[in-house]
Structure 1
Amino acid sequence: MERLLEVEDLHVSFKTYGGEVQAVRGVNFHVNKGEVLAIVGESGSGKSVTAKTIMGLLPKKVSRISSGVVTFEEDDLLTYSKKEMQKVKGSKISLISQDPMTSLNPTMKIGHQIDESLKLHTDLSKMERKSRVLELLTLVGIPNVEERYSQYPHELSGGMRQRVLIAVALACEPQLIIADEPTTALDVTIQAQILDLLKDLQQRLDTSILIITHDLGVVAEVAQRVAVMYAGVVVESGSVEEIFANPNHPYTWGLLGSIPKQRQDGARERLIPIEGTPPDLFSPPKGCPFAARCEYAMDICVEKMPDSTYLTTDHASKCWLNDSRAKKPKEVAMAGRSR
């Protein structure tokens, strides 16, 4: 498949009073045209920082991109000026953030907020833009669009506000939508509706989506491929089928073990938490970042970061258990998959 976006060896840090936080440490992944890639991991793993780096939304005074390339349509976005990025944002790459109440302007009617992007990136007349806004509101499943056009964000439910954000993102028919935890602030029923909407729109419009989430249920629902992040590093990546059926990294095993499951007799299985806490990114470990929490860790795990091992063409894992010198790697892996 043709690649739309490619991130290579991305390193991002933040200056604080306590020192420099190394939030993203050598991240590599790509998004193909017309596909959904999910980046999954617990809070603080660097998912949102990666997304904001792609969009050029990092605070300049405190952030530092020490290395990396973000290729979009054969151009490196990290070399773009602020003015050049303004032309890309909204027209070619759009962002759906996780909290619609803080993302939408409370003093502007929603119709005008969707119209802003059209005014900036298109040559449509005022009447044509309004027609397009009403079309977008209909597309994302909002009823009574003429009435909603003139309403303020506080007059809409949480689910409707999230649909408005999706309409804003779709306004100029971008090639890539970055959805940063798009269902976090919503209840379970509305979450399902928003996920169904994103999946339907992606299939109908053939738009690529990069979805940021900590919820593997969301991954299973909408994505084709997954990148698992931990402590600023992509520790495993592959197709959804490969990650769920044949996970290869102990952190991925832990994430899958924390999903609520129901047995055939109706009883729920006990959730298995991942013991311990993430490493201090002021001074990240030189070896595998998950070593301190991994029950299968060896001395080499603490001392040196493993290289990526490709189990299939698209399935890669950074784990020393894949090394031929590791003790009984197959038995250890099977134990992890049965957790």
Structure 2
Amino acid sequence: MGFDIRPAIAVTMGDPAGIGPEIIVKSMARREILASCRPVIIGDRSVLQRAIDLLAADLRITTVEEMPDRDPASGELYLKPLSDLAPQDMEYGKPTAAGGDAVFRYITEAARLCLKGEVDAMATAPINKEAMNAAGHHYPGHTELLAELTGTDNFVMMLAGSRLRVTLVTIHEALADVPRLVTFDKVLATIRTTNGDLARYFTPRPRLAVLALNPHCGEGGMFGNEDQDIIRPAVEAARSEGIDATGPLSADTLFHLAVKGDYDAVICMYHDQGLIPLKLLHFDDGVNVTLGLPIIRTSVDHGTAYNLAGKGIASEESMVAAIKMAAEMAVVRQTRKA
């Protein structure tokens, strides 16, 4: 069984001063997007039209209040407008508090639509966290905001491409704070959430590699005790629950094995431990997936790229990959319910 029509995906426009609107327009011009889903953009009509004009795209906007139950016609973009920004809040490369507030509303509305079942998933364009904070919305990023909106305590950031998937025990934290934040409970919760959602959406029995925090797994305590005292017991606890997890493993060699296909995901202790190898392989087409939520959320794996905004040269590959992955996950979920 599955979907009678393609899944509906809410696509948030992202920072109006960045490349989000451009890469969305470029994505919507790709046949593979409309072949996989029914997208509706949550954003600003003037900003979206500017991007269409900039790219000379053969697209037209249809304003909607709710997701239509039909596929968009050729060249038609569904838009649910939530802002009407002034020209000074649309200037390329110059984020503003008004733009940050608009971004917050786009994300909040997309999450609401997902929770109500009016759309099947959401895919997000890049935001500026400082602009959102300037508007009074104090979150380190999309992930933490969506966790609050959905009432989720155990959430995990996964970055994914065709050759590598990584998840993070700690996300946006100062490196100096990481050792005290890598706790038994946090490592075990990350393993459980990674295993659960990979099994739910991607592969029935995930093979998980769990990285050490320190070089050479601490070298018997010479370089730190976290690996033996915290990470290893967490891995053992996960294995006692039937999870196929291995670790702690040394990061300097593990990624070679993961890329060869020995593991379905690598659980990393901190942000750069996972994102450096991921972006080395998937700089253009990496996808950010928030695991553990009651909704499906994917995103581009890059920022607002203000230096490229308004030039029409930013790559849409990550946005395309994010929308397609959201649609694929929605189809898997619906199929398993059927």
TM-score (norm. length: structure 2): 0.28
The structure where helix makes up a greater share of residues is 2
Bigger radius of gyration, 1 or 2?
1
